[in-house]
Amino acid sequence: MSTMKLCVLGIGRMGLPMARRLCAAGHTVQVWNRTRAKAEALAAVGAQVHDTPATAVAEAEAVVCLLEDGPVVAQVLFELGAANAMPPGSLVIDMSSIKPAEARAHAELLAQRGVSHLDAPVSGGTVGAEAGTLAIMVGGDAADFERAAPVFAALGRATHVGPHGAGQLTKLANQMIVGITIGAVAEALLLAERGGAHMAKVREAITGGFADSRVLQVHGQRMVERDFAPRARMTVQLKDLRNALDTASALGFDAPVTALFERLYAQAIADGLADLDHAALFVELARRNGMT
């Protein structure tokens, strides 16, 4: 697999291990983060740290964005000068989780500047980012998807799911399933415990049956251990559910189950759980049942 001149914009919980993997794969990597100190650790693995996004992208064949939300992506690309500084014919691979409509708008604005775009959000959390096992959901032109193959190969398994915005639609579907399944696992385990069953044994007993899932295995274990140290935060899960509801509304689609869980996560955050892992919806459901 060929190597590329890359830039990574956004060195946070996901951006740091992903940029590290791109360096390890032999790519030439420039990095920028609003708080420079968070990016400095990458200098030890060969990345060059920049003070501005415009200087970071100046020679990049592809720019990977790992930013907080759609407005931040737009600000970095179009207000802080990144898009104008990118070479003609280069490619933005936006791996942030944003609204599909935002992804389509960014693609159009970049095309006007002669820059291509893929929306390529990921699932797998920091564990997948560190191991290079992320599920990558990609929207955009097939030719650009092929161009981005060396980037995706270092990070996980990429699937081209359709035109611009389709990657973000797929991520919303993913987050709907994850957020709702966390609630189902938490409520079921709490019910079993209230009735006198051993929670850990209940989880063990249903593993391998129709109720089994990665959420039961990973988040269910966190619930058994009461380990809610943040991997994917409650606030991020709520953001994704709200993006899903906004998109559903724009499409004239009724999503009552997602709406219910949006309210549950919002209440959990209002009750002080904002900085915990999204598996901490368990804590909110336990509180409602006097089981804290």
> Which are the catalytic amino acids?
171
Give the residue from 236, 241, 218 showing the smallest Cα distance to 276. 236
21 SS3 class: helix
Report the distance separating Cα 57 and Cα 202, nearest Å. Answer: 51
Torsion sign, CA atoms 143, 149, 151, 155: positive
Burial class (CB in 10 A: 0-12, 13-18, 19+), 86: buried
Report the distance separating Cα 49 and Cα 34, nearest Å. Answer: 11
Positions of E strands within 27-133:
28-32, 48-50, 62-65, 91-94, 116-119, 122-123
